[in-house]
Amino acid sequence: MRIGVVAVQGAVSEHVEVLKKAMERLEIDGSVVYARSLRDLNDVSGIVIPGGESTTISRLMLTTGMHEKIAELAKKGLPILGTCAGTILLAKEGDEQVKQTNTQLLGLLEMKVLRNAYGRQVDSFEADVKIPEIGDKLFRAAFIRAPTIEKVWNDTRVWIEYNGAIIGAKKGNMLALTFHPELGDDLRIHEYFLRMTTK
């Protein structure tokens, strides 16, 4: 197994470390690579698009050619995990903030995202959220300048809700989360994603 973490900007090393730990716990023989160029996406079993600044990540993905390649691989069934900014990029629609920044979305999940839905950096928070598909124990989620998902349609389904807001969506091989699952000791979401890559 070889997982590529898009490493142009954002919370990259945290995802790499958590994925390595999750592989170890699941006894998976594999590696995690920093995907900085098109070449780094060759022969990957799954891709993670981390949180960070969505406009910057989008622009650098376009410059490197990774934007088109990720869209192509996703449509062929390659598992993709997007977190925070990564979720914005996976969406078909963004709000006015997304449009004003000319952020190029991948448009892979039928959902509309609201950027910075909770406010600025100072409004960041943590919360215990219920994620039935990873078990009964609550997951401690970190929301940092987090978006929310306003709505989903067609084959995209709600995966997690918190306080009436959609904070996770799934469509086939793609999983989008508005929070940062890599900031903590709970490996269950990354383990879930790794299992998606072995199906």
Q: What is the C-alpha to C-alpha distance for residues 95 and 128, in angstroms, rounded to an integer?
A: 27
Only one residue has tokens 């508005």, namely 178
Q: Is 14 a catalytic residue?
A: no
Q: What is the C-alpha to C-alpha distance for residues 74 and 81, in angstroms, rounded to an integer?
A: 10
Pick the closest to residue 84 from 51, 41, 43, 35 (CA basis): 51
In the set 14, 180, 190, 191, the catalytic residue is: 180
Alpha helices in the chain (DSSP H): 12-25, 54-64, 66-75, 85-90, 96-100, 188-198
Q: Is 190 a catalytic residue?
A: no
Name 49's Cβ contacts closer than 8 Å, sequence gap at least 6: 6, 57, 70, 80, 81, 82, 83, 85, 86, 89, 90
In the set 14, 15, 67, 84, the catalytic residue is: 84
Helix (H) or strand (E) holding 46: strand 46-49
Q: Is 180 a catalytic residue?
A: yes
In the set 14, 15, 67, 182, the catalytic residue is: 182
Active site residues: 84, 180, 182
